Structure formats: structure tokens, C-alpha cells
Amino acid sequence: MVGEILLNEKVELEINDSTGQVDQTLMAHILRCDRALWKGARIGFHQMIMATVLMNNEQKKAFSRLYIRVRFSFFS
């Protein structure tokens, strides 16, 4: 349930967002902000991913595709 929400729910971003995207999934938004999170929040988020998304094979595949897409967008 949590994994489906993180991977499928869209969030609306403000116009001045640096990504230039109008909407993205909640997971993509959190991954893009990962470096700005406080250490405790980052650890909690990573543990939540491991306990929910990474326990389901289909969600694990969707997460891996999203992770690669988000990480490569930082380099361009």
C-alpha cells in the first residue's frame, strides 16, 4: 500500500521548481530532495523504502527505473 502511493501518486510542484516538471511522483520528488534532508529524516525514509517498496518485486523494478532516471537527470 505505501509503496503504491510512493510510486504512483503525483504531486504538483510550483512553477519555479528547478526540475522544470509540472508533476512527478512522490517518490521522485523525495529522491530529488534526498541530499537536502536532515540525516535522521534521510535514514527514516531509506528504512521506509526498504520495508515497503523493496519487499515487492514489481515495486522494486519500478523503483529501480525511477532511481536511475532521477540520478541521471542530475548529471544533465
- What angle is formed at CA 2 by the lines to CA 19 and CA 9, rounded to 5 degrees? 40
Query: Phi-psi bin for 20: left (phi > 0), alpha (psi -120 to 50), beta?
Result: left
Full-model pTM? 0.68
Element (H, E) at 7: helix 2-8
Domain ranges of the chain: 2-75
Q: Flag whether pLDDT at 17 surpasses 60.
A: no
Higher-confidence residue: 37 or 22? 37
| pLDDT at residue 59 in the model | 93
